[in-house]
Amino acid sequence: MTDREILRLETVDFVRESRQILTAIDLTVRAGERWALIGPNGAGKSTILSMCGAVEHPTRGSVHILGRKLGRVDIRELRESIGHVNPRHPLSSPLTVRQVILTGATGTTELMPRWIADAATQARVDELIDMLGLAGLEAATWPTMSQGERGRALIARALLSDPPLLLLDEPSTGLDVAAREQFLTTVDQLHHARPGLATILVTHHLEELPTTTTHALLVKHGQVHAAGLAREVLTTELVSECFNHPIAIEHRAGRWQARALVRS
C-alpha cells in the first residue's frame, strides 16, 4: 500500500425527494486498500457507491476522486478512471467475451458502431483474458455465459483502462457456492497482481468478502456506524449493532463467517 489518496468523502449528506438518505459520511480510501461496504438493506450502501463512482453528487459535503472534486470536473473523463462491476449489467445482445471486455474502452453497454480497437487495446484484452481465467471462453456469448463467467468478464471490462479504483457492487449476486468461491479467488488473484489497486466491494454477507479485504465500513440508517481496519470493524459487537440483531462473527483462514445468536 501507499499513502496516495484515491477517494475522499467529507461530511457527505444526500437527500432525495425530501428524504435524507445519507448523513455526514466520511470515508478516505488510499491506493492498495480493499474496502468492504456492509450494512442492512436500505442503509445507503448503493448511494455511497454511486458517489464513489461519480454517478451521484452530494447534496452537502464534498467528494474527491483521484484528486478531483465532483462538481468541478468533467464527469465523463473522471469515470474513465473508475472501474465499475455491476452483476446486473443491462446487456442482452449476444456479445462474445472479447466484445464485452472491449465495451470497457468506450464505456458503453453495446459495441460502438464502426469503432475499431487499436492493437494496444486488443493486447490488453488478451492479457485480461489470461489473468481472469477466461481463456477458452472467447467465443462464448453473453446469453450463454454462466453468472460466474459474466462476473469475470465484467471485471476484465472494468480493468481494460487500467483504473486505479475498482467498485464491485454485490458481485456475488446470483452465484451458487462454487461460482462464488471461484469468483472470490479471482478477486484475490487480482489484488495480488495489482497491489496498488484500490477496491470497494458492497455486500450484505460477510462470507462474500475476499481474503485480501483490508478495511471495512459499516453503514446504518445512512450513517457511518464504524470504519477502519477490517479485523477491528467486523466484530460481533459492531456487526450486531449495525444490523440490530445478535450476530456472532468469526475470522478463520482469512475469511469471515457470520451466524445469528439466539436471544436469551
172 and 222 in a common domain? yes
Domain boundary among 122, 145, 162: 162
111 and 1 in a common domain? no
Q: Residue 215 and residue 227: Cα distance in Å, rounded?
A: 7
111 and 51 in a common domain? no
- What CATH number does the domain containing 22 carry? 3.40.50.300
Q: In whole angstroms, how large is the CA radius of gyration of the chain?
A: 19
Could you tell me the pLDDT band of residue 264, with boundaries at 50, 70 and 90? low
Q: What is the pLDDT of residues 18-39, one digit of tens each?
A: 999 999 999 999 999 999 999 9
Q: What is the pLDDT of residues 68-108, one digit of tens each?
A: 999 888 888 888 889 988 878 888 889 999 999 999 888 78
Write 27-30 long-range contacts (CB < 8 A, 24+). Answer: 27/217, 27/224, 27/227, 29/5, 29/165, 29/198, 29/200, 29/215, 30/1, 30/2, 30/3, 30/4, 30/5, 30/6, 30/198
Q: Mean of the pLDDT values across residues 5-9?
A: 96
- What CATH number does the domain containing 97 carry? 1.10.8
Q: Phi, psi (5° rounding) for residue 179?
A: -65, -35
Domain boundary among 130, 162, 194: 162
Helix (H, G, I), strand (E, B) or coil at 7: strand
111: in domain:
yes
259 and 153 in a common domain? no
Return the higher-pLDDT residue of 231 and 77.
231
Domain boundary among 162, 177, 204: 162
